[in-house]
Structure formats: C-alpha cells, structure tokens
Structure 1
Amino acid sequence: MPSYEQLRELLDPATTVLMTVECQQGVVGPESALPELAEQARESGALGNVARLVSAAHQAGTQVLHAVAERRPDGRGANHNARLFRAAGRLPVQQLSGTKAVRIAPPIEVSEEDFVVRRLHGLSPLAGTGVDPLLRNLGCRTLLVTGVSANVAIPNAVFDAVNLGYTAVVPADAIAGAPADYTPAMIRNTLALVATVTTTDDVLGVWKRSRPHA
C-alpha cells in the first residue's frame, strides 16, 4: 500500500477526479439485472464505500463523475459483437435510457456539481464516451476508479486511464465483482501492476486533512 505522503501527492483535490462506474439501480440496486454482482457490491461493503468516497469528495472539492451504461429501447447503436452483450439483451431488467435502472443507486448521493456521463455502447467508461476530454479540461491527473464490475468495466477503465496518461488509483474495498473471490485475485494479479491500490479509509484520511477547515 502507498504511504500517506504518496497518496497526498496523488490525490490532490484540484487534479483528481473520482469516477463511479455503473453504480446504477439496474446493476447494484435491489432490482438488479445481475443479482449476484449486486449482492457482492452490497455485502462486501463496496457500494457503501463508494458512497463514503463520493461524500468526502464533495466536501474536499474533488470532482465526481458517474459513468452509467445504458441502451436505447430500440437497441440502436449498441454493441452485439460479444457474448456479454447478447446475454445482457436477454436479462429481465434492461438498462434503458430514462428508466429507474440507470439512476445512480443509493446510498450514493449525486450533487449538482457532479458529471453523469452515459454511454450507449462498448465496455469502457472512457473510450468513445467523451470522458477523456472532460478530464483534461478539468485538469485531471489522477483518476480514482470505483464501482463495478471487477470482471469487466473496472479493469477496462483502469487500462484506458493508464493508456491515456492518467495515474489510476483504485480503493480495493470500493470495487466489486462476482464471484466474491475473483475481485481480490484480479486486484493482486492485474490492477496492482498498473494502478496504485489503496483503501477507502486511506483516501478519506488524505481528503480530510486537505480540507480548508481540517
């Protein structure tokens, strides 16, 4: 784990963006299309930790960006070139634009200053979504990646962030995947090679000290 000094340098609120990935009702909520993943996100504490990080980011002046995956009711523009997309199209809960399924799930709170970026295609919260120019215009150097899933979207986001020149930071207890034992193995054997892996409490500790009144 990085030292406090290392994290303080990486997580300067002025140059850090906290990104939540697919923390939406239809993915991690009670009526999820993926109940096993939703259960892991909640029972592991990952969703609660994302909410804690978002709240702390708001207080510290760190920009928050929520990456949401959705599709049009007619499916136009959506991918069909992988087994995952075909399976998603058969699920009883669909991530349709404008529905409850694509709203950010409690207990995460969205403020007026947050960005909510919705994608209609692909696997990545960054590639082809307009997130990269937003990050550059915000002066972002460090992308703090949270949410789901550790199976697909989280590693995709981390790899894309690194390829685009950002430093990726991952609070290990603020991401989730399925089955339960997959996430720690993926963090240890994959994400730790390209991202700075930390914990929610360590991030909160840095931001608490960085607040003007702290």
Structure 2
Amino acid sequence: MPTPEQLAEQLTPASTVLLTVECQQGVVGLDSALPELAKEARSSGALQNVARLVDGAHEAGVQVLHAVAERRPDGRGANHNARLFRAAERLPVQQHSGSRAVRIAEPIVVAEEDLVVRRLHGLSPIAGTDVDPLLRNLGCRTLVVVGVSSNVAIPNAVFDAVNLGYTALVVSDAIAGVPADYTPAMIRNTLALVATVATTEDVLTSWKRPRRVSRA
C-alpha cells in the first residue's frame, strides 16, 4: 500500500481521472439484466462508494468519465464471438441505446462537466473507444477505476490503462463481481500486480489533503 503522501502525489486532481465502468441501470440498477451482480454491487456497498467517489471528485476538481456499454436494438456492430455476448442477447433487460437501462444508476450523480463514453462492442471500456484520446487531452496520468465487473470489464480497463502508459488505481471497495469472494481474489492475485490498490476512504482523504503551492 502506498503512503498517504505517495497516494496524494499520484492522485493530484489536475492529472487524475475517475472512470466509472458500466454503472448503469441495466447492470447495477434495480431493474438489472444481471440481478446477482446488481445485488452484490449494492449489498457490498460498492455502488454507494462509487457515488461517494464521484461526489468527492466533483468537489476536488477531478474529471469524471462514465463508461457505458450498450447495443443497438438491431444488434448491428455488436460482438457475437464469445459466450458472454450470446448470453447477453437473451437477457430480459437489454442495454439498448437511449433506453433507461443505459442511464447512470442512482445514487451516482452525473454533473454537467462529466464525460460519458458509450461503446457498442467489445469487453473493454477503453480499447476501441474514445476514452484514451479523451484522457490524453485531459492530461491524465492516473486513472482511478471503479464499477463492475471485477470478472471482465474492470480487469480489461486496468490492463488497457497500463498498456497505454497510465498509472491505474483500483478502489478495492468500489468494484464488484460475482461470486462475492472473487473480487478480493482478483485484486490480490492479479490487479495488485499492475495497479495501485486503495480504499474509498484513502482516495477521498487524499483529495481533501492540502496541496503545496509552488512559489516563483
């Protein structure tokens, strides 16, 4: 674990972006297509912690970017090359563009300055989307990753961020997956090898720390 000073340096607001992954109604909301995942995200406190981090980012001047997975009603352009995609096509709730299912789920508050990136294909919120060029234009050095799921999209986001040269930070109590014991195992055995791991309180405390002001 980094020291508070190291974490504060890594989380400098001007060069940090908070990325929420698939925190949408049709995934973690009450009318989710994946009720087991939605239940875990809510009962574990992960979704509430995402909301707290988003609020904290807004207060600290940290850019927030919401990554949303969706599909056209006709499925045009969507993947069909994995069991996960084929199963998703049969779910009772579909993540159709423009529908309630692809709205950011409560209690997360989306501010006017937030960016929302929507993808129609793939497993990653970064690869093949606008996220990377947006991060570069924003001067991002550290990408804070939260949301779902620790099974697929979260590790994809972390690996892509690291491969693209960003420092990835995973907020351990603001991600969720199924079964419940999979998330800590994924963090311990995989994500901790390539990303900084911190808690919601660690990150919020860092953003509230007084910053040194350089003097000419």
For this structure pair, what is the TM-score category when the shorter chain's length is used for normalisation? over 0.9
Paired with 1:210 and 1:202, the residues of 2 have a C-alpha distance of 14
Secondary structure, aligned partner of 1:14: helix
Aligned position for 1:136: 136
For 1:99 and 1:13, locate their aligned partners in 2 and report how far apart those are by CA, in whole Å: 33
Corresponding residue for residue 50 of structure 2? 50
Q: Secondary structure at the match of 1:42?
A: helix
State the superposition RMSD in angstroms.
1.0
Letter in 1 for 2:160: D
CA contact (8 A) 1:60 1:210 kept: no
* Structure 1 residue aligned with 2:22: 22
1:80 maps to: 80
Identity among equivalent positions (%) equals: 81
Please name the residue that 1:199 is paired with: 199
Q: Deviations over 1:72-112 (max 9, x none)?
A: 00000000000000000000000000000000000000000
Give the C-alpha shift of residue 210 in structure 1: 4.2
Following TM superposition, where does structure 1 have runs of at least 4 consecutive aligned residues deviating by more than 3 angstroms? none
3-state DSSP class of the match of 1:37? helix
| 1:116 maps onto 2:94 in alignment | no
Written as runs of structure 1 = structure 2, the 5 A alignment for 1:32-181 is 32-181=32-181
> Within 2, Cα distance between the matches of 1:62 and 1:210?
15
Cα distance in 1 for partners of 2:179, 2:65 equals 27
Q: Distance in 2 between matches of 1:202 and 1:148?
A: 20
Unpaired runs of 5+ residues, structure 1, are none
Alpha-carbon shift at residue 211 of structure 1 (Å) = 7.5
Paired with 1:39 and 1:46, the residues of 2 have a C-alpha distance of 10
3-state SS of 2:173 partner: helix
Change in Cα spacing, 1:117 to 1:67, as seen in structure 2 (3 Å) is: same
Aligned residues: 212
**How many Å apart are 1:24 and its aligned residue?**
0.1
Structure 1 residue 33: Cα displacement: 0.4
Pairing 1:189–2:205 present: no
Q: Secondary structure at the match of 1:85?
A: helix
Which runs of 5 or more structure 2 residues have no equivalent in the other structure? none
